[in-house]
A and B are shown apart, each in its own frame.
Chain A
Amino acid sequence: NAGVTQTPKFQVLKTGQSMTLQCAQDMNHNSMYWYRQDPGMGLRLIYYSASEGTTDKGEVPNGYNVSRLNKREFSLRLESAAPSQTSVYFCASSPGETGTYEQYFGPGTRLTVT
C-alpha cells in the first residue's frame, strides 16, 4: 500500500516552460487535492476534486490546470511557468465521505522556476 505517490520529486524549469505534476493514490479515496507550500505561508489549496469527474478552484488557482484522470490519479499542469510558482507542491487525498475528513499527503515535489 503506497498511499499517495507524486512524481517527480524535484524539477527545475525555465520561465515559460510547461510541465505536469503527477499524483496517484491507492486508497480508493474519492477526494484529491493539490496544495503549494511556501515559507511562512502554510499550505494553500490550488485545486481540488471532490469526486471523480469533478474539479474546482481553490485559493490560488491562477497559472494552473488540473485533470482528474480517474479515481486514482489527479495531475497538476503548469502551462507557462513563472518564478512565482517556485514552491513545494503536495498532493493529498481523503475518503471524501461525511465524517471522515483527514487528508493523506504525498511526499511533495520541489519545483524551482528560474
Chain B
Amino acid sequence: SQKIEQNSEALNIQEGKTATLTCNYTNYSPAYLQWYRQDPGRGPVFLLLIRENEKEKRKERLKVTFDTTLKQSLFHITASQPADSATYLCAGPTGGFKTIFGAGTRLFVKA
C-alpha cells in the first residue's frame, strides 16, 4: 500500500542551526508532496507544496526538496528559532482529492 514515512524520533537542535526533516514515500509516485506544521492541541497548518518536477522550493527560511530517485523529500528550516518547535507532517496525494499523511517528526529548537 502507499505509504508516507517520517522519522519518529524527535529532532533536537540549537537555535540558529539548520533543521532537516526527512519524508520517504513507498509504493507510489506522488505528483506532489505537502508539508504542514502542527502545534500541540491544534490542527495542522499548510506550509509548502512541491511538485515532482520541481527539485527545490523556498519560502522565507523554509526549503523543501523532492528527489524522485531516492523517493524522498527533505524539509529544511534555516536559522531555526525556538518558535519553530512543532511537529512537521509530510503528505502526498492518493487519488482524487484524497491525501495520506506521515506520522510527523517533532522538532525542538533550544535557545
A residues bordering B, Cβ < 8 Å? Answer: 4, 31, 33, 35, 40-45, 48, 50, 56, 58-59, 90, 92, 94, 96, 101-108
Contact = CB atoms under 8 A, between A and B. Distances in A.
A46 B101 CA distance: 13
B97 A107 contact: no
Interface string B1-29: 00010001000000000000000000000
A101 B42 CA distance: 20
A41 B6 CA distance: 11
B50 to A, nearest CB: 11
B42 A42 contact: no
B44 A43 contact: yes
Given A31-B97, A96-B97, A102-B34, A42 B102 contact: yes
Q: Interface residues of A: mostly helix, strand, loop or mixed?
A: strand
A56 B43 CA distance: 22
Nearest to A102: B46
A58 B98 contact: yes
B32 A45 contact: no
A50 B97 contact: yes
A43 B101 contact: yes
Q: Which 5 A-B pairs have the closest CB atoms?
A: A105-B43, A42-B103, A102-B46, A43-B101, A42-B101
